[in-house]
Amino acid sequence: EELTIIRKFEHIEHCLKRNVQAHVSNGFEDVHFVHMSLPEIDKDEIDLSVEFLGRKFDYPIFIAGMTGGTKGSQLAGRINKTLAKAAQELNIPMGVGSQRAMIRKPETWESYYVRDVAPDVFLVGNLGAPQFSETIPERYGIEEALKAVETIQADALAIHMNPLQESVQPEGDTQYRGVLKALAELKAEFPYPIIAKETGAGVSKEVAVRLESIGIDAIDVGGLGGTSWSAVEYYRAKDEMGRNLALRFWDWGIKTAISVAEVRYSTELPIIATGGMRDGITMAKALAMGATFAGVALPLLKPAVKGDVEGVIKILRRYIEEIRNAMFLVGAKNVEELRRVPLVITGFTREWLEQRIDLREYLRSR
Ligand code: FNR
């Protein structure tokens, strides 16, 4: 019972105090813009807005879900409300962390509730894919999904896929049998958009095609190269065997840049590019590769824990100005044009993609 909630705090503490990032990059260093000496646009006319699931946003940045599950005004509630105020101010979307704690302990609902401070924000609820597995008797269904969204007046639901994290933790939920079918059934009845999101190991083209085939509305690739959940579990491990397993899988997964290309090439779904996005040039590359948003989690945690709304906004504005500058230097006055500028892909990312997709076709039609 208490375990889920305690676990949550350990995660936040490790994320704040230790190195929980992958030892490898997210792949965008292999993606290059071609500088344009005659941009033929004014920097001031650049429009960073994007459309997503029927809504318009001022900037192509998504605050990825992190937390929830404490009593009202405590840690998790403060983090979510701080992020929500920033998201409201900038008109960008945000997610909350896993609402499993809220399903078990309904009295924690306020820690996910941000409508009082962010009346207009596009808010995304969050439940875990393994909870929908046919293997568990008390599996989630439409009732829990509705509760997650409606209790906090969210606009959509994210279902997180995290087999890596679950597989390297002692109390992990490693039952994934029947999840795709359960999500198909949920999607058929559910009146809100569903975003399938990974949490640091990336989404392959094979998984993306399956998710699109059951009607999932968008994919957050949650790729390798940012926060590593094996790293978090490494610090939490209770014995040598656990530490070894988590360390071994620290850098497991599909890099964010690669995952964006695989999903863009194989589906029509809107993409959120999360996983190690730490500057606006990298974010502009993700948008050019076909993502609608760059998603960010870890860098916002530190100011959010302190309730520092201005601190969160400052980081996001830095990203925004860097994206804008990159767009100017490739002559793209909006995100749609950014998707048509030339890109050069080199190194590991190129070698991978050449074996997995028709790279030329992808670069032409992204
Ligand atoms: C997360 N993430 C996450 N994802 C999810 O779907 N449900 C959750 O409850 C959480 N919890 C959570 C807590 C903390 C402290 C962090 C840092 C992250 C994963 C997050 O949404 C994102 O996919 C990854 O962190 C990758 O992005 P960054 O951190 O590299 O920018």
pLDDT at 310 over 60: yes
Distance CA 179, CA 168 (A): 20
Q: How far is CA 31 from CA 60, 155, 170, in A?
A: 19, 33, 37
ipTM score assigned to the predicted complex: 0.99
Q: What is the tens place of the pLDDT at every residue in 22-61?
A: 999 999 999 999 999 999 999 999 999 999 999 999 999 9
Full-model pTM? 0.97
**CB-ligand 1 contact for 187 (6 Å cutoff):** no
Distance CA 123, CA 133 (A): 25
pLDDT for the residue numbered 355: 98
Taking the centre of ligand 1 as the mean of its atom positions, its distance from the CA of residue 226, in whole angstroms, is: 10
**CB-ligand 1 contact for 97 (6 Å cutoff):** yes
**CB-ligand 1 contact for 125 (6 Å cutoff):** no
Closest CA to 154 of 78, 72, 55: 55
Q: Which of 96, 199, 220, 279 to mutate to test the pocket of ligand 1 (most atoms within 8 A of CB)?
A: 199
DSSP for 230-298 reads: HHHHHHH--SHHHHHHHHHTTT-S-BHHHHHHHHHHH----EEEESS--SHHHHHHHHHTT-SEEEE-H
**CB-ligand 1 contact for 275 (6 Å cutoff):** yes
Give the closest residue (by CA) to ligand 1 atom 13: 66
**CB-ligand 1 contact for 64 (6 Å cutoff):** yes
Taking the centre of ligand 1 as the mean of its atom positions, its distance from the CA of residue 199, in whole angstroms, is: 6
Give the closest residue (by CA) to ligand 1 atom 11: 66
**How many alpha carbons fall within 13 Å on the CB side of residue 305?**
13
Question: Which ligand 1 atom lies nearest to the CA of residue 158?
Answer: 6
Chain position carrying tokens 């936040």: 12
Average pLDDT along the chain: 96
Mark out the alpha helices in the chain (DSSP H runs). 2-17, 75-90, 100-104, 142-151, 163-167, 179-189, 205-213, 229-236, 240-248, 256-266, 280-288, 298-305, 309-329, 335-338, 347-356, 359-365
pLDDT for the residue numbered 73: 63
Tokens describing residue 73: 């005004």
Q: Is the dihedral of CA 53, 258, 264, 44 positive or negative?
A: positive
- pLDDT-wise least confident of 21-30, 65-74, 120-129, 211-220: 65-74
- Mean pLDDT, rounded, for 190-215: 98
